[in-house]
Structure 1
Amino acid sequence: MSAPTRASVVWTATGVGAATLLVAAVNPNDQGHYPTCPLLALTGIYCPFCGGLRAVHDLAHLDIAGAFARNPVAALALPLIAVVWALWAQQAFTGRRLLRIQSKPWWGWAVVGFLAVFMVARNLPGAGWLSPA
């Protein structure tokens, strides 16, 4: 994998920052602002990402409990993604890696498996606490 460029870091931050500001300003809990999840609309099944926009909205307003209620996976993953991005940016601007993480070939499959288990679990009867409130 090639080293990140400063431009790629800046453009990524600009895009993600703009999207986060939009979600923070335009409440996803209000009907009509964002499209419904296609899987939910077609089948009535919550996907692993259902409630993700509402979790981002809550995190942007520092409502950690609300974010966990909407989508606990997103509430945990988004800060982790921010840390990974910060490490990526640090490498782009200094040329040195602060932390070297050796990814394993099975990590991608583990994430897919975890998301599949989470999707099944949040759709089980009695698991209403996992559904996007």
Structure 2
Amino acid sequence: MTGSTPVQGPPAGRTQRRGGALLRPLGVGAAAAVGAVLVAFVDPHEPGHYPTCPSLGLTGWYCPGCGGLRMTHSLMHGDVGQAFGMNPLVMLLLPVFAYLWIRWTVSAARGVPMRSVLLRPRVLYAFLGVLGLYWILRNLPFAQVLAP
């Protein structure tokens, strides 16, 4: 077999980079799943199971994430109405987070950078504005429906 050239596949570095990039979204997905299962079994409605929110403890104001553990617990037990009542904004954003995670996973599997309209600066600034407004509103007396 002298004179024959060996068949070559894709460069080894590119395959390793693609596999390494896929580990990130899969790791985030696994961590979220483990966290959700933990919260499903350890009820945050009972005091003493989880630490108090630092923002609530220091200021007495509900932060945008307050009620998130109780929302997750209710959602994991199929009580969508109660989950929505604990943190309506996060509940409404769950499909957006799922979409972004799926896009990230698919982009990593293809070995291409993730591009999404939702990650543009204008959209991110608008999101931060909505988050800040939600933070303020859920602490005002007339908007108690937004409080956990």
Task: Encode CA deviations 1:24-51: one digit per residue, 9 max, x unaligned.
Answer: 1111111111111111112211111110
In the alignment, the residues of structure 2 paired with residue 64 and residue 83 of structure 1 have an alpha-carbon distance, to the nearest angstrom, of 20
Secondary structure at the aligned position of 1:9 is classed as helix
Within the alignment, does 1:91 sit opposite 2:107 as a pair? yes
Q: Which runs of 4+ in 1 moved over 2 A?
A: 90-97, 99-104
- In structure 1, the gaps of 5 or more residues are none
Following superposition, the deviation at residue 17 of structure 1 comes to: 1.2
How has the CA–CA distance of structure 1 residues 61 and 96 changed in structure 2, closer, same or farther, with 3 Å as cutoff?
farther
- Could you tell me how far apart the structure 2 residues matched to 1:96 and 1:75 are? 30
2:47 maps to what in 1? 31
**Taking structure 1 as the reference length, what is the TM-score of the superposition?**
0.84
Q: Look up the SS of the partner of 1:83 in the other structure.
A: helix
CA distance in 2, matches of 1:116, 1:32: 29
TM-score, scaled relative to structure 2 = 0.77
Residue 8 (str. 1) matches residue 24 (str. 2): yes
Q: Which structure 2 segments of 5+ residues have no match?
A: 1-16
Contact 2:21–2:111 under 8 Å retained in 1: no
Q: Does residue 71 in structure 1 map to residue 92 in structure 2?
A: no
- 1:123·1:131 contact (CA, 8 Å) conserved in 2? yes
Name 1:49's counterpart in structure 2: 65
What letter is aligned with 1:14?
A
2:133 is the alignment partner of 1:117: yes
Q: Match for 2:30: what amino acid?
A: T
State the alpha-carbon separation in 1 of the partners of residues 76 and 121 from structure 2. Answer: 33
CA–CA separation in structure 1 for the residues paired with 2:90 and 2:50: 18
Q: Which has the larger radius of gyration?
A: 2
Cα-Cα RMSD: 2.3
Give 2:56's match in structure 1, choosing from 36, 40, 54: 40
Q: Hey, which of these two has a bigger chunk of helix by percent?
A: 2
The count of corresponding residues between Structure 1 and Structure 2 is 130
Identical aligned pairs, as a percentage? 40
Query: Is 1:101–2:91 an aligned residue pair?
Result: no
1:128 aligns with 2:144: yes
CA displacement at 1:94 relative to structure 2 = 4.4
